[in-house]
Amino acid sequence: MTVRSLLLATALLAATAASAQARDDVTAAPQARDHVIAVPQARDHVIAAPVLRANVAVAADVVRIGDIIDNAGTSAQIAIYRAPDLGTTGSLPTAQVLASLRAHHVIGVDTRDLTAISVTRLARTVHGKDIEVQVARALERRNGLGDADSLSLTFDREVGDLRLEVSNTGVMQPASVRYEPRNNRFDVSFEIANDNVSTPTRLRFTGTVIETVEAAVLARNVERNEVLRSSDLIVERRPKAEVGGDLAARDRAVGMQARKQLRSGQPLKSADLAKPDLVQRDQSVTLIYEAAGLYLTIRGKAVEGGTEGDVVNVLNLQSKRTVSGVVTGRGQVSISVATPRLPATADATSSLGANQGAAPISVAANASSQLSPKAE
**Do 268 and 249 contact (CB within 8 A), yes or no?**
no
pLDDT, tens digit, for every residue of 97-137? 999 999 999 999 999 999 999 999 999 999 999 999 999 99
Burial class from Cβ neighbours inside 10 Å (0-12, 13-18, 19+) for residue 11 reads exposed
Summarize the confidence of residues 322-344 as an average pLDDT.
79
Using pLDDT thresholds of 50, 70 and 90, give the confidence band for residue 14. low
Summarize the confidence of residues 85-89 as an average pLDDT.
95
CATH 3.40.50.300 fits 214-274, yes or no: no
Residue 77 pLDDT exceeds 50? yes
Check residue 358 and give its pLDDT: 42
**Do 153 and 135 contact (CB within 8 A), yes or no?**
yes
Summarize the confidence of residues 251-257 as an average pLDDT.
90
Residue 172 pLDDT exceeds 80? yes
Check residue 184 and give its pLDDT: 95
pLDDT, tens digit, for every residue of 270-314? 999 988 888 888 889 998 888 887 888 889 999 988 888 889 999
Nearest to 249 by CA among 275, 231, 268: 268
Residue 154 pLDDT exceeds 90? yes
> CA of 230: how far to CAs of 113, 199, 216, in Å?
68, 57, 11
Check residue 307 and give its pLDDT: 83
**Do 182 and 241 contact (CB within 8 A), yes or no?**
no
- What is the CB neighbour count within 10 angstroms for residue 12? 10
* Per-position b or e across 147-164, b if 16+ CB within 10 A of its CB: ebebbebebeeebeebbb
Return all residues near 250 (Cβ < 8 A) that are at least 6 apart.
216, 233, 235
Summarize the confidence of residues 138-157 as an average pLDDT.
94
- Residue intervals of the chain classified under CATH 2.30.30.760 are 277-336
- Residue intervals of the chain classified under CATH 3.90.1210.10 are 214-274
Task: Return d(Cα 172, Cα 170) in angstroms, integer.
Answer: 7
The fold of the 277-336 domain, in CATH, is SH3 type barrels. (2.30.30)
pTM: 0.60
**Do 70 and 109 contact (CB within 8 A), yes or no?**
no
**Do 117 and 98 contact (CB within 8 A), yes or no?**
no
Long-range contacts of 191-196 (CB under 8 A, 24+ apart): 192/164, 192/168, 193/168, 193/169, 194/165, 194/167, 194/168, 194/169, 194/170, 195/167, 195/168, 195/169, 196/165, 196/167
Burial class from Cβ neighbours inside 10 Å (0-12, 13-18, 19+) for residue 199 reads exposed
Using pLDDT thresholds of 50, 70 and 90, give the confidence band for residue 165. very high
